[in-house]
Amino acid sequence: MKVNFFLSQRGLKPFELAAVVGNPQGVEILFPVTSHIPSYDDWSINGTMKLVESKKFKKKMNRNSAEYFS
């Protein structure tokens, strides 16, 4: 499945994938059943949507992809 490959390739949780593709409704649905991630400074739906747009998060995604394909 393409989604499972994307999640494992980048180390993303499903709610993070929803945020990455710009689906706040998906984040809202998945957020209550997602365990808190300590590295998230703003543990909220809006905070998650902002975080995935940050350079820090994008760098992490690229690093995880590089490690997966090494």
Domain ranges of the chain: 2-69
Is residue 7 over pLDDT 50?
yes
Per residue in 8-59, pLDDT tens? Answer: 556 788 888 899 889 999 999 999 999 998 988 999 999 999 999 999 888 8
How much is the pTM?
0.71
Nearest CA-CA partner of 16 in 69, 2, 40: 40
CA distance 53 to 16: 11
Half-sphere exposure of 18 (CA within 13 A, CB side): 16
CA distance 2 to 42: 29
What's the full length of the chain, in residues? 70
Residue 62 vs residue 65, higher pLDDT: 62
